[in-house]
Amino acid sequence: MGLEIAFWILAVVAITAALAVVSLRNIFRAALCLILCFLSIAGIFVVLSADFLAAVQVLINVGAIAILIILAIMLTREVERGSLPNKLQFPVIASTVLFLCIAVFAVIRTPWQVSDLPPVEPTTAELANKLFGEGGFILPVEISAVLLLATIIGAIVLMREK
Amino acid sequence: MPELIPQEALWPGNFWLHLLVFTVIIITFILLTVMFFIWFERRLLGRIQVRLGPNRAGPFGLLQPLADVIKVLTKEDIVPARGDKPVFWLAPIVAFVPVLMMFAVIPFQDGALLVDLNIGILYIVAVSSMASIGIFMAGWSSNNKYSLIGAMRDVAQLVSYEIPLALSILGVVLIAGSLSLTEIVEAQTVPFILLQPLGFLIFFIGSLAEMNRTPFDLVEADSEIVAGYNIEYSGMKWATFFLMEYAEALTISAIITTLFLGGWRGPLLPPFLWFIIKVVTVFSVIVWVRATIPRLRIDQVMAFTWKFLLPLALINLLITSLQVVFWPEAPVWLIVFAGLFIMIALILIWSKFFKLGGDRIDV
Amino acid sequence: MTLGLEHFLILSSVLFAIGLYGALSKRSAVIILMSIEIMLGAVSIAMVAFSRYIVPAMLTGQVFTIFIIVVAAAEATVGLAIIIAIYRRRETIDITKIDLMKW
Amino acid sequence: MFKHYGNGIVKGMALTLKHLFRQPITTQYPEERLTVSRRIRGNVLAWSQDNCIGCYTCARNCPHGCIEIETSEKGEKGLIPAPCTQDCPSHVDAARYIRCLAQGKPDEALAVIREKIPFPSVCGYICAHPCESSCNRGLIDEPIAIRMLKRFAVDNNTGIWKQRSKTAPASGKQVAIIGAGPAGLTAAYYLAKLCGHAVTVFEALPQPGGMMRFGIPEYRLPDKILSDNISEIENAGVKIKTDTRIDRPESLLEEGFSAVFIAIGAHQAIELGIEGEDNPKILGSIDFLREVKLGKKVGLGNRVAVIGGGNSAMDSARTALRLGVKEVTIIYRRTRAEMPASPEEIEDSLDEGIKILFLAAPTRVTSHNNELKLECVRMKLGKEDASGRRRPEPIEGSEFVVELDNIISAISQRPRLPDPFGLATGRGNTIQVDPDTLATAKEGIFAGGDAVLGPATVILAIAAGRQAAISIDKYLGGSGIIDETLALPEEIIDREGGPREGWRPETSAIPHQQRLNSFNGVELGWDKDSALSETERCLRCDLVYGVEKYQLNGGACIYCGLCVEACPFDALFMGYSYERATYRLSEQILSKEELLTPDRRKPSGYARPEVEKTLPKQTLLIDRDL
């Protein structure tokens, strides 16, 4: 029961915040709403008993990415009336709604083979095993490390003043 | 503290009662301790500067924070005319709530905590990174260049210092083998400050920067940017920021106690008393540092973390993980001496390569 | 009504659609980046939900989510770096005005 | 890096820890000094229409510009003596002649001055100007330069006053005056011109003028200026017999003079009172100045010390410098603040390269082959004495020796009274007289000036001369009225606008390199523009205006009380509803007002709305763009 209440509240907050992100004119407030959206997604993770992921979501998305975005906003101008739609606004709305309808239709009509097993708790050790253990995802981990290194170098190269 | 709580309230027997009782206890504890800390810091600073400090209100000036509270409460609440008003109103709350939330996982003694999360320390790191959003909101919505500069500095500093901070925590987590704070405390037959001296040093310096205290208080460097992000705030909203800063000092003292000083563990005295004694000791050291070291320049602060703390934290993590993986049953005395030796050697070697604020860096 | 997989998937679709709308219809590069972050979040929800309801013992979806977060971080970093580099040259982050391949 | 920073951190931490365990040095605030901190609150300023003259001082001092004054243009109440007039010993109507100058009539101004003193030029050049000390403008910024304005008036003399002056018919009585100084000549002038007596002035020195001629160096008061003034007096019928020394005043009475006025001045330098003083190389300042003025050769070496801190010490030092002395040092036992010499004289002396040795007193002089050794002792300032100056006390063991060629003693002077005068003398060898009539104990003999007062100023001597003329005329059966009307009555007394803001115009002086070679006048007079702009600063304290409206803009007033403090006429004071709350320092400092009226309901930006309306905008709006 508690989980359901939590889900509905978090879902409403997440959708409202996401709508605010794409509709607010003030970019700074949009970024704040993005933070709210991220926090709700972290809450949804908790509802899905992925507590480690929730903490990581807060740490990376809220603590780092959102703040990076805000810093980037500060470095540009026209913050207060910066978010304007382009010419494609109405076609995009139409196609997005169409996409949403198809996706919802697909979700509802698909017969999901839901398992009845209880979720693994706590997830931390299990995740570690999955990532680093035998038959796990060690190669993607290494690749993502290379990706991050490339990101760091790329960002430095892009931002360096000549 | 268990005697204060009805037995059926304890986790996980009665979830809601436990939550309620501990929330009340934590908030009361934080407010009282913050008031004590304000008085304590002023007295200690006074004594270090060979004066008395506040000594008029109440015995030994103990009621001075109360007088300050009354004064702050009766001040006029000013909102900048061209500021972003809703954000301005929300900022103190957004800044204060994460600091309160951090306390949820800190064990006062065995089992005496709000929630014993199995990812406790990760939760703390995650939540503490949210506090800077409130500060940024305050800086932006004040529509004042000084507050914005202060907020930008705060965010840059926070993001940078979080990395060595998290890396030094990882050393502790590796040794303890758990992210849960209760288990970390229980793993400390020897306080981790002895096993992880370098990690402790990095964590201490990093947390000084994290809570914007001297010598890293560039966020509110009076001589440069007047008062930093809270320049436009007055009255209760300003007091909330002030409360946030001291609550953060309290929380970080508690975290240092938990991670490195053995938490509630100690002979003779009851565990929660040990916990409080250790917290006050850590806070005294923070005040002592404040009384001694002058403020750094912003480029020095950034250079210090990226060029000094981060490499050392990485090396510390590497050495710790090698030890945990290949020689887990090493004798304690050997680890202690090796740790001290490695710390001194690393700091001396690194300072040969590293120049603090030699060249001017534009940040 | 108990929570089922469908709830999470529909929430995920709605968030994804909102993000899609923002990414396609906005002029500001920063807002587009934020919309992409929303879309990645939506996908993460779907992944974790699949993991929770279909293979609860395996956590494969959560592992995928971790990679999604890694990619999101990398994408945000490089994206913001590009935005600021463009802003330094062109004094604008309006993507409708950034239409030259070379300048 | 580590050596540099690590050492600093470790040492610093150790130091702060050491300090932590020291005894705090905070002390209890003394109980008897605990009544402090005045706060002014309220909404009514009491304003006294009787005292207010509408000078705008309060309006100018208000930081928020919330005082409005409307004065009636014509309905003035009349004239009162201004403070400058009241404080002048001779009561020269300074306010009036400044007004004449402001109207562009310097000759009229001179006439106003001439009504009271016969030495306007001398006063224009060297007067000690007590009027400026009492000037109300000094409360705001700087007093009006009354002396310079007087000098401007006399420099632009057209002689119009002479046409309006008249000479009284001869009374047939003879008056003898001993001493042709400022006091004697003033008395002689008024007795001869306005009372009609036949006056003969006996002067021991070869030229008339007394201290004005022989005590003040040429560069301050050119001889020609003085001679012009004295020739005016001679034109009024005064006979001056120079080179005539009178030993017995009674002998003059026997010769047929009806009254005798003794104004012999104070011409004898006071001795230093130290060992070895009878050396011929030690000169009295007054003797030194006189010798120089008489054109005699004074052989001075290269190093000269002047002992004393008065104007005559400055004069001696600067004269010595002009005679070619390389190194002149003034030795004074107190500090600069206590020096009796006028500040501009001290400033000029230092400018010309004279050294001043403060807090030093000579104790002994010895002579070694053509060289004087002056032993001095360092002094420190002790308790205040009767004159309000702090008494110097010697510091034991701080003696030092200065090697010199000559010493000029300029401590003070006293009257040189020949014994046969046979008059009662008081402190400092001064003649004792009735303070109202200046009559001595002997019938028909009066005395005044420095001979009675001790060394004083020219303007005091002139005042004494006037007093003597009045009482001698009364003694001889006259009316004793020596006032004359030389200036035309003023028609419309009007003030156009308030006084000008700002400071005095610059006073120019001749360049340094030209100063030390000659005795040319140092200070230069003002041109017309400077004088005119200076007159505009005058507050016109003698004009009383009917102030019709005095309005305080309550919204902008912050009750700082600056206007009350600034008012020179005590026309403003705190009204009844002002609360003067005093707080004791020992109590917790909480503002009572803030506790009583916390206005937290309406956050109002930077200031309360009513203040926003009344204040000028630029004080409120700060540039808040990033």
Q: What is the pLDDT of residues D213-254, one digit of tens each?
A: 888 888 888 888 889 889 988 888 889 998 888 888 888 888
The answer to whether residue A80 scores a pLDDT higher than 80 is no
Q: Which of D1, D21, D595, D622 would best serve as a mutation to test chain B binding (most B beta carbons within 10 A)?
A: D1
> Which residue among D600, D606, D626 places its CB closest to the CB of B148?
D626
The answer to whether B159 contacts chain A (CB < 8 Å) is yes
Verify C-B touch: 3 or more CB pairs within 8 A: no
* Tokens describing residue A16: 């409202």
CA distance A59 to chain B (A): 4
pLDDT interval class at B264 (50, 70, 90): confident
Rounded Cα–Cα distance for residues B228 and B241 (Å): 12
> Which residue among D12, D26, D606 places its CB closest to the CB of B52?
D26
In the β-sheet with D174-178, what is the strand arrangement from edge to edge? D238-241, D198-202, D174-178, D259-262, D445-447
Angle between helices D146-155 and D528-535 (to 10 degrees): 140
The answer to whether A103 contacts chain C (CB < 8 Å) is yes
Record: contact B289-D13, CB cut-off 8 A:
yes
Rounded Cα–Cα distance for residues B169 and B178 (Å): 11
Record: contact B87-A124, CB cut-off 8 A:
no
Rounded Cα–Cα distance for residues B363 and C84 (Å): 15
pLDDT in tens, B141-195: 888 888 888 888 888 888 888 889 889 998 888 888 888 888 888 888 888 888 8
Record: contact D20-B47, CB cut-off 8 A:
yes
The answer to whether residue A146 scores a pLDDT higher than 90 is yes
> Which residue among B119, B158, B159 places its CB closest to the CB of A124?
B119
Phi-psi map region of B119: left, alpha, beta (phi>0 left; psi -120 to 50 alpha): alpha
C94: chain A residues, CB-CB within 8 Å: 84
Contacts of A153 (CB under 8 A, 6+ apart): none
Q: Taking an 8 Å Cβ-Cβ cutoff, which residues of chain D contact chain B? A: 1-3, 5-6, 9, 12-13, 15-17, 19-20, 22-26, 586-588, 590, 594-595, 598-600, 603-606, 624, 626
Task: Using only the alpha carbons of chain A, give its radius of gyration.
Answer: 20
The answer to whether A138 contacts chain C (CB < 8 Å) is no
CA of C22: how far to CAs of A93, B54, C17, D313, in Å? 9, 56, 9, 92
On average, the pLDDT of chain C sits at: 85
CA of D418: how far to CAs of B50, D246, D421, D422, D537, in Å? 71, 9, 6, 8, 50
CA distance B119 to chain A (A): 7
Q: Which of the residue ranges D326-340, D374-388, D584-598 would you say has the lowest mean pLDDT?
A: D584-598
* Tokens describing residue C58: 């395996």
Own/partner long-range contacts of D49-54 (Cβ < 8 Å, ≥24 apart): D49/D547, D49/D550, D49/D571, D50/D571, D51/D569, D51/D570, D51/D571, D52/D547, D52/D550, D52/D569, D52/D571, D52/D572, D53/D540, D53/D541, D53/D543, D53/D544, D53/D545, D53/D547, D53/D569, D53/D571, D54/D545, D54/D547
> Which residue among B67, B74, B81 places its CB closest to the CB of D594?
B74
Q: Which of A3, A15, A22 would best serve as a mutation to test chain C binding (most C beta carbons within 10 A)?
A: A22
B75: chain D residues, CB-CB within 8 Å: 594, 598, 600
CA of residue B111 relative to chain centroid, distance: 22
Question: What integer pLDDT is reported at residue D185 of this predicted model?
Answer: 92
The answer to whether B127 contacts chain A (CB < 8 Å) is yes
CA distance D551 to chain B (A): 30
Task: Using only the alpha carbons of chain C, give its radius of gyration.
Answer: 17
pLDDT interval class at D494 (50, 70, 90): low
Q: Which of B121, B127, B136 would best serve as a mutation to test chain A binding (most A beta carbons within 10 A)?
A: B136
Helix count (H) and strand count (E) of chain C?
Answer: 3, 0
The answer to whether residue D37 scores a pLDDT higher than 50 is no
> Which residue among C5, C9, C28 places its CB closest to the CB of A83?
C28
Own/partner long-range contacts of A127-133 (Cβ < 8 Å, ≥24 apart): A127/A52, A127/C59, A127/C62, A127/C63, A127/C66, A130/C58, A130/C59, A130/C60, A130/C62, A130/C63, A131/C63, A131/C66
Q: Decide: D333 and D313 in contact? Cβ < 8 Å.
A: no
Rounded Cα–Cα distance for residues B304 and B357 (Å): 9
Question: What integer pLDDT is reported at residue D368 of this predicted model?
Answer: 81
The answer to whether residue D454 scores a pLDDT higher than 60 is yes
Question: What integer pLDDT is reported at residue C13 of this predicted model?
Answer: 92
Record: contact A158-C82, CB cut-off 8 A:
yes
Burial D477-486 (b: 16+ CB within 10 A, else e): ebeeebebeb
- Residue whose C-alpha is closest to residue D253's, from D451, D446, D434, D444: D444
CA distance A36 to chain C (A): 11
- Residue whose C-alpha is closest to residue D499's, from D549, D533, D526: D533
> Which residue among C26, C34, C41 places its CB closest to the CB of A69?
C34
On average, the pLDDT of chain D sits at: 77
Verify D-B touch: 3 or more CB pairs within 8 A: yes
Nearest CA in chain A to C2: A4
Nearest CA in chain D to B358: D1
CA of D581: how far to CAs of B75, B362, D36, in Å? 20, 52, 10
pLDDT in tens, D194-216: 888 889 999 988 888 888 888 88
Burial D168-187 (b: 16+ CB within 10 A, else e): beebebbbbbbbbbbbbbbb
Stretch D548-572: mean pLDDT, rounded? 68
DSSP string, B161-200: HHHHHHHHHHHHHHHHT-S-HHHHHHH-SS-HHHH-HHHH
CB atoms within 10 A of CB C58: 15
Query: Looking at residue B9, what DSSP letter applies?
Result: G
Stretch D126-133: mean pLDDT, rounded? 86
Phi-psi map region of D376: left, alpha, beta (phi>0 left; psi -120 to 50 alpha): beta
CA distance D563 to chain B (A): 28
> Which residue among A22, A57, A113 places its CB closest to the CB of C22?
A22
Nearest CA in chain C to A105: C10
Q: Which residue has the tokens 């012009």?
A: D228
Question: What integer pLDDT is reported at residue C1 of this predicted model?
Answer: 56
Nearest CA in chain B to D585: B56
Own/partner long-range contacts of B83-90 (Cβ < 8 Å, ≥24 apart): B83/B141, B83/B142, B83/B143, B83/B232, B84/A26, B84/A28, B84/A29, B84/B140, B84/B141, B84/B143, B85/B141, B87/A28, B87/A29, B87/A32, B87/B137, B87/B140, B87/B141, B88/B137, B88/B138, B88/B141, B88/B142, B88/B232, B89/B237, B90/B137
The answer to whether B84 contacts chain A (CB < 8 Å) is yes
pLDDT interval class at B9 (50, 70, 90): very low
A67: chain B residues, CB-CB within 8 Å: 129, 132-133, 136, 155, 158-159
Record: contact B130-A58, CB cut-off 8 A:
yes
Rounded Cα–Cα distance for residues B233 and B150 (Å): 13
Burial B37-73 (b: 16+ CB within 10 A, else e): bbbbbbbbbbbbbeebbbbebeeebbbbbebbbebbe
* Tokens describing residue D576: 């009844």
Question: What integer pLDDT is reported at residue B224 of this predicted model?
Answer: 72
Stretch B314-328: mean pLDDT, rounded? 87
pLDDT in tens, D76-104: 556 777 778 888 888 888 888 888 888 88
CB atoms within 10 A of CB D544: 19
The answer to whether B87 contacts chain A (CB < 8 Å) is yes
Give the torsion sign (CA, A127, B200, B182, A6): negative
pLDDT interval class at D31 (50, 70, 90): low
Phi-psi map region of D336: left, alpha, beta (phi>0 left; psi -120 to 50 alpha): alpha
Question: What integer pLDDT is reported at residue A12 of this predicted model?
Answer: 92
> Which residue among B123, B127, B155 places its CB closest to the CB of A71?
B155
Cis omega (within 30 of 0) on the bond before B215? yes
- Residue whose C-alpha is closest to residue A12's, from A40, A31, A33: A40
pLDDT interval class at D74 (50, 70, 90): low
pLDDT interval class at B79 (50, 70, 90): confident
pTM of the model: 0.55
Stretch B235-251: mean pLDDT, rounded? 87
Record: contact D24-B52, CB cut-off 8 A:
yes
Q: Are strands D45-47 and D259-262 parallel, antiparallel or unpaired?
A: unpaired
Determine whether D612 is exposed, middle or buried from the number of CB atoms within 10 Å of its CB (0-12, 13-18, 19+): middle
Give the torsion sign (CA, D77, D79, D84, D86): negative
DSSP string, chain A: -HHHHHHHHHHHHHHHHHHHHHH-S-HHHHHHHHHHHHHHHHHHHHHTT-HHHHHHIIIIIIIIIIHHHHHHHHHSS--TT---B-TTHHHHHHHHHHHHHHHHHHHHHS------SPPPSS-HHHHHHHHHSTTSSHHHHHHHHHHHHHHHHHHHHHH---
CA of B53: how far to CAs of A63, B33, B194, D26, in Å? 38, 18, 35, 9
Rounded Cα–Cα distance for residues C103 and B242 (Å): 50
pLDDT interval class at D26 (50, 70, 90): low
Rounded Cα–Cα distance for residues B72 and B241 (Å): 12
Question: What integer pLDDT is reported at residue B72 of this predicted model?
Answer: 84
pLDDT in tens, A94-144: 999 999 999 999 988 888 888 777 777 777 888 888 888 887 888 888 999
Record: contact B87-A28, CB cut-off 8 A:
yes
> Which residue among A35, A68, A122 places its CB closest to the CB of B133?
A35
